[in-house]
Amino acid sequence: MNVSFGFSQTKDHIRATNEAVGQAIIGLRGMHADLAIIFTTIEFTHPLVLKTVNNLLGEIPILGCSSLGIITNKGIFKHGFAILLIGLSQQMFFNVASVRDINKKTALLAGRELGEKLLYGYKTVRRNLSIIFSDGLISEGTSLINGLQENLGRSFPLIGALASDNFTFQKTFQYFNKELLSESCCGVLFGGGINFSLGIKHGWKPLGKVRCVNKSEGNVVKEIDGRPAVKLYEDYLAKDTLELSEELRRISIFYPLGIYLPGEKEYLLRNIISIKDDGSLVTQGDIPQDSKIRLMIGTKDSCLEAAAESCEDAERNLMGQKAKFVMVFDSASRFSLLGRQCVKELEIIKETFGEETPLVGIYTYGELAPLQSISYLGHSHFHNQSIGVLAVGGQ
Amino acid sequence: MLNLMFIAICMVIASMGISLLFKMQRLKELEKRADALNASLEEMDEQAKLIIRTDIELNKTQEELDKKITGLSTLQQLSREISTTLEEKQIFKKIGKFYLEELGFEKSSALLWDNLTREFHLYLSIGYSESESLRIKDAVNTDKDYYLDLMHGGKTASSVFIPEGFLDKDKICQLFQANEFIICPITPKEGNQGFIFVGTQNIETRITEGEREIITILANQIGQSLDNARLFEKTWRSQQELEIKVEERTRQLTETMEELKKISKRKSDFISSVSHELRTPLTSIKGYAAILLAGKLGAIPDEIKERLAKINRHSDELVHMVNDLLDISRIESGKVNMHVETLELAPIVEKVADLLSEQFKAKNITFNMLIPEDCKKIMVDRSQIERVFINLIGNALKFTPENGSISVGVHCSNKTIQVDVKDTGFGIPQEAQEKIFEEFYRVDNTINQGVKGTGLGLTLVKHIIEAHRGNIWVTSKLGEGATFSFTLNCTE
């Protein structure tokens, strides 16, 4: 596997694309590239960017999405264009696909369709890993995963991210070949024995009593402990519904809900997107009925500790192989919470994998990844506020 | 047997009863423990609530503190850049995207009111396309009265607080495409005032008091820098104007000087040629008068002799005047070669006094000479300096009544000596003192009318002294005599 990385933060998006792709091509030292993964900040999301990449690289598959910032070995950038060129060995395979209009189709159907498309041509080949980039404004992340899993298998390792914009929550973008998409989802399915490992952690700790979700439908939690769900926040934060609504995003970052998963060290986090008139809480992923939940609390230190654990997990599970490249899906909420200290997260990643290992990452509005536990091995979940570290070691 | 059975049943029942009693007691205890556990759980939950509420406050404070630290450090860097800029538009160019983002915003506009065109002009636009910037400018000008009121009132508007009478929040948000914003007046003391807008689309941001303060400081800093830039511009312009004026005046003066030099040269040339032309016929007149007086052409009557003597005397005066004029002209034009040498001052003065001794005697005037030991030697042309003393002492003699006194005093400092020729004469009126060294100037009074003179003596003296790089001046009070002072270079 050949990997090369290019990045530019030049103001002009076409010049930036030229510079970054140029760097990546030089880095390949004449070797071929089969797949390009591109990440850009929101002001670089322009069809001409894709056209420029195509002009420079020829007709190779392109995948990617927008982000509020780009994480690289050189730092965290609020403006820029990043490209990762991957050249695969003959024993490795991949297939790319996309699905549009998630909101019209519903996340479940979109996931199902994408799964089906990704499987195309994989009847006789062992499939290993799928990387998914989805619109960041969908509210049913779990349904998307469920749809994908219906075709790819329940315990198939799905890794991915929900694209972000610059905290305006207006529009996120996905790149698929020559198309600049929105409200869409695209992905790649690798097969033929690719060695990879993953670490995903958040660092939030449970606080207060265990609560029971008595009534819920998908990502709408209606009742907790026999009372309207919003009462939980009203009690803990001593604020009424109106006050909570005004500060919901902040509150949701600092105090998300945590779903207890038997046998897991960490709870699965759920951000609150909105509060309904009947007191129901709309979360970014599903919370099944009868789930045991708790209010979670996080600090900058616990966030950084989680980043370190996530990196260690990814590094350890690569079984001694050196990572060819590292891809980081870091929650936008963590970026908000950590503020200036987000560079410490980058330092932790670099310390674990080495300064020279190609590193590219984005800030996400949701993360898709399996949990690292025996009982849930391979079973992907929809995460919030987590840092997912994917280390790919080649064959 | 039955009894035994009855007793056994009773014992079983009793033991069962006892066991039930125990179990009930244990159940009660367990219930109590469960209640206690629940109570402590509830207590812990209450503590958790307290922790969360405290944590909210702590987070808010920390966030505010972080913003302030970042804001202040950015503001410091920005202020340093702005304050060293002395060009209005450059001041706004210094507020780049980087600094704006460090302050927590990604959109900014600054507009200044132009009193002449009666509209706002755009000086800064970050995060907007050209057409968006234009639209903002037009919309601001449409609602200019609101913005002018805000500026004149020195009020700051923000998404958290809109001052009374200003545009509503939604309208501003829509115009500037921001969810949160601050609008702060820029009020320099002089010249055009305006306002700066900063905003963000980030829906997680809430404008804090700290941010409002920081943007207010920034706006004040911009105002001060605008004042500095305008003052600099004004000073620079006046300096330019002054330089142009000085250049013009210098040119005029140079031209005048050149003209004066030409005139002076023409005058000297004229005097010189006229004097030469006069001297030849004068010599003839004087010669013939002398021949006639001597009776070489025969005896002449006394009356004619008397007239001839007058002709002879007046011719002498004329020759004397012509010589003086020629000397002045030569000195002025630099034609006289000065033979400067180190000489003793006292013998020169003594020689002149000796020359005029008859006149001293005739008017019974005492002559004093006070030359200290340490300033006896001077660097002069002997013949010229003798003329100076002859003229000055001669003048003093003319204007000093009988029984008066004339003195020559000398004192020196550094390499210069000052000679004072003092008399006890009639003195010179104040208004005449400035003109006395001019050619042909004679003080207009009855005393002067009785004293003969050409009006060229002091002019010649002045020229000689200046040719020796010295100065000459007079101090006098009417009725108290006059002192003519001049300076000369001396040797150590």
pLDDT digits (tens, 9 = 90+) for A332-357: 999 988 888 889 999 999 999 998 89
* Residue that is last in its domain, among B221, B237, B253: B237
Average pLDDT over residues A285-314: 92
Distance, in angstroms, between A249 CA and closest chain B CA?
A: 6
Q: Which residues pair with A215 in a beta bridge?
A: A223
Distance, in angstroms, between A251 CA and closest chain B CA?
A: 8
Please indicate, yes or no, if residue B369 is contained in any of the structural domains: yes
8 Å CB contact of B202 and A250: no
- Beta-strand relationship, A325-331 and A359-364: parallel
Q: Residues 351..380 of A with a Cβ closer than 8 Å to B: which?
A: none
Residue B207: the pLDDT is 87
Please indicate, yes or no, if residue B386 is contained in any of the structural domains: yes
Is 0.80 surpassed by the pTM of this model? no
Q: Which residues of B touch A251 (CB under 8 A)?
A: 56
- Beta-strand relationship, B107-114 and B119-126: antiparallel
Q: At what angle do helices A300-316 and A342-353 cross, to 10 degrees?
A: 20
Average pLDDT over residues B395-413: 89
- The chain A residue lying nearest B106, using CA atoms, is A166
Distance, in angstroms, between B52 CA and closest chain A CA?
A: 7
Q: Which residues of B touch A236 (CB under 8 A)?
A: 48-49, 52-53
A336 and B CB contact within 8 Å: yes
Number of domains in chain B: 2
The confidence band for A376, taking pLDDT boundaries of 50, 70 and 90, is: very low
Same domain assignment for residues B231 and B343: no
The confidence band for B108, taking pLDDT boundaries of 50, 70 and 90, is: very high
* Residue that is last in its domain, among B202, B237, B272: B237
* Residue that is last in its domain, among B237, B270, B285: B237
8 Å CB contact of B201 and A339: no
Q: Tell me, what CATH number does B482's domain have?
A: 3.30.565.10
Closest partner residue to B202 (CB to CB) among A166, A236, A251 is A166
Residue B452: the pLDDT is 66
Q: In whole angstroms, give the CA distance from residue B330 to residue A120.
A: 119
Q: Tell me, what CATH number does B182's domain have?
A: 3.30.450.40
Same domain assignment for residues B202 and B346: no
Q: Which residues of A touch B202 (CB under 8 A)?
A: 166-168
8 Å CB contact of B48 and A255: no
8 Å CB contact of B59 and A297: no
- The chain B residue lying nearest A78, using CA atoms, is B101
Residue B120: the pLDDT is 94
Provide the token pair at B121.
């002009």
Higher pLDDT, B449 or A278: A278
8 Å CB contact of B41 and A169: no
Q: What angle do CA A74, A77, A79 make, to 5 degrees?
A: 135
Residue A101: the pLDDT is 92
Please indicate, yes or no, if residue B28 is contained in any of the structural domains: no
Q: Which residues of A touch B45 (CB under 8 A)?
A: 208-209
8 Å CB contact of B52 and A249: no
Q: Please, what is the average pLDDT of chain B?
A: 87
Residue B460: the pLDDT is 87
Q: In whole angstroms, give the CA distance from residue A19 to residue B11.
A: 98
The confidence band for A278, taking pLDDT boundaries of 50, 70 and 90, is: very high
Of B108-117, B142-151, B177-186, B328-337, the poorest mean pLDDT is in B328-337
Average pLDDT over residues A259-276: 87
8 Å CB contact of B48 and A295: yes
Cβ-contact B120, B83 below 8 angstroms: no
Residue of A9, A68, A165, A168 to mutate, testing the B interface (most B Cβ within 10 Å of its Cβ): A168
Of A130-134, B277-281, B390-394, B486-490, the poorest mean pLDDT is in B277-281
Residue A373: the pLDDT is 42
pLDDT in tens, B117-129: 999 999 999 999 9
Q: In whole angstroms, give the CA distance from residue A118 to residue A190.
A: 9
Q: In whole angstroms, give the CA distance from residue B245 to residue B103.
A: 48
Q: Which residues of B touch A208 (CB under 8 A)?
A: 44-45, 48-49, 52
Residue B456: the pLDDT is 80
> Could you state, in order of their start, the residue ranges of all structural domains in chain A?
2-201+303-394, 205-296
Distance, in angstroms, between A65 CA and closest chain B CA?
A: 19
Q: In whole angstroms, give the CA distance from residue B69 to residue B64.
A: 9
Please indicate, yes or no, if residue B170 is contained in any of the structural domains: yes
pLDDT at A372 over 70: no
pLDDT at A395 over 80: no
Of A137-151, A278-292, B272-286, the poorest mean pLDDT is in B272-286
Distance, in angstroms, between B21 CA and closest chain A CA?
A: 34
Cβ-contact B423, B481 below 8 angstroms: yes
Please indicate, yes or no, if residue B43 is contained in any of the structural domains: no
pLDDT at A331 over 50: yes
The confidence band for B98, taking pLDDT boundaries of 50, 70 and 90, is: confident
Distance, in angstroms, between A347 CA and closest chain B CA?
A: 21
The alpha carbon dihedral of B335, B339, B343, B346 has a sign of negative
Q: Which residues of B touch A238 (CB under 8 A)?
A: 49, 53
Closest partner residue to A169 (CB to CB) among B41, B49, B203 is B203
Residue A375: the pLDDT is 39
Average pLDDT over residues B461-469: 89
Q: Which residues of A touch B48 (CB under 8 A)?
A: 207-209, 236, 295
Distance, in angstroms, between B242 CA and closest chain A CA?
A: 46
Residue B448: the pLDDT is 63
Q: In whole angstroms, give the CA distance from residue A341 to residue A358.
A: 22
Q: How many CB pairs under 8 A join A and B?
A: 59
pLDDT at A285 over 90: no
Q: In whole angstroms, give the CA distance from residue A27 to residue A5.
A: 7
The confidence band for B263, taking pLDDT boundaries of 50, 70 and 90, is: confident
Residue of B202, B206, B208 to mutate, testing the A interface (most A Cβ within 10 Å of its Cβ): B202
Average pLDDT over residues A24-42: 92
- ipTM for the whole complex: 0.80
Cβ-contact B443, B462 below 8 angstroms: no
Same domain assignment for residues B217 and B348: no
Q: Which residues of B touch A232 (CB under 8 A)?
A: none
Q: Helices then strands (H, E): number in chain A?
A: 11, 26
Average pLDDT over residues A207-225: 92
The fraction of chain B above a pLDDT of 70, given in percent, is: 97
Higher pLDDT, B434 or A178: A178
pLDDT at B246 over 90: yes
Residue B451: the pLDDT is 66
Provide the token pair at B486.
């001049």
8 Å CB contact of B53 and A235: no
Residue B450: the pLDDT is 63
Closest partner residue to A78 (CB to CB) among B42, B45, B101 is B101
Q: 3-state SS string over chain B? A: CHHHHHHHHHHHHHHHHHHHHHHHHHHHHHHHHHHHHHHHHHHHHHHHHHHHHHHHHHHHHHHHHHHHHHHHHHHHHHHHHHHCCCCHHHHHHCCCHHHHHHCCCCEEEEEEEECCCCEEEEEEEECCCHHHHHHHHHHHHHCHHHHHHHHHHCCCEECCCCCCCCCCHHHHHHHHCCCEEEEEEECCCCCCCEEEEEEECCCCCCCCHHHHHHHHHHHHHHHHHHHHHHHHHHHHHHHHHHHHHHHHHHHHHHHHHHHHHHHHHHHHHHHHHHHHHHHHHHHHHHHHHHHHHHCCCCCCCHHHHHHHHHHHHHHHHHHHHHHHHHHHHHHHHCCCCCCEEEEEHHHHHHHHHHHCHHHHHHHCCEEEEECCHHHCEEEEEHHHHHHHHHHHHHHHHHHCCCCCEEEEEEEEECCEEEEEEEECCCCCCHHHHCCCCCCCCCCCCHHHHCCCCCCCHHHHHHHHHHHCCCCEEEEECCCCCEEEEEEEEECC
The fraction of chain A above a pLDDT of 90, given in percent, is: 63
Distance, in angstroms, between A367 CA and closest chain B CA?
A: 20
Closest partner residue to A235 (CB to CB) among B49, B59, B205 is B49
The fraction of chain A above a pLDDT of 70, given in percent, is: 98
A320 and B CB contact within 8 Å: no
Residue B308: the pLDDT is 84
pLDDT at A126 over 90: no
Q: Residues 165..194 of A with a Cβ closer than 8 Å to B: which?
A: 166-170
Residue B443: the pLDDT is 72
The confidence band for A206, taking pLDDT boundaries of 50, 70 and 90, is: very high
Residue of A76, A207, A272 to mutate, testing the B interface (most B Cβ within 10 Å of its Cβ): A207
The confidence band for A374, taking pLDDT boundaries of 50, 70 and 90, is: very low
Same domain assignment for residues B219 and B346: no
pLDDT at B271 over 90: no
Distance, in angstroms, between B202 CA and closest chain A CA?
A: 5
Q: With 0-12 CB in 10 A as exposed, 13-18 as middle and 19+ as buried, what is B480? A: exposed
Distance, in angstroms, between A29 CA and closest chain B CA?
A: 35
8 Å CB contact of A166 and B45: no
Average pLDDT over residues A59-78: 94
Provide the token pair at B384.
């010229």
Q: In whole angstroms, give the CA distance from residue A285 to residue A307.
A: 22
Q: What angle do CA B145, B148, B154 make, to 5 degrees?
A: 140
Domain of B89?
83-237
Residue of B49, B103, B204 to mutate, testing the A interface (most A Cβ within 10 Å of its Cβ): B204
8 Å CB contact of B41 and A209: yes
pLDDT at A5 over 60: yes
Q: Residues 209..268 of A with a Cβ closer than 8 Å to B: which?
A: 209, 235-238, 247, 249-251, 253-255
Q: Which residues of A touch B101 (CB under 8 A)?
A: 78
Average pLDDT over residues B142-153: 91
pLDDT at A59 over 80: yes
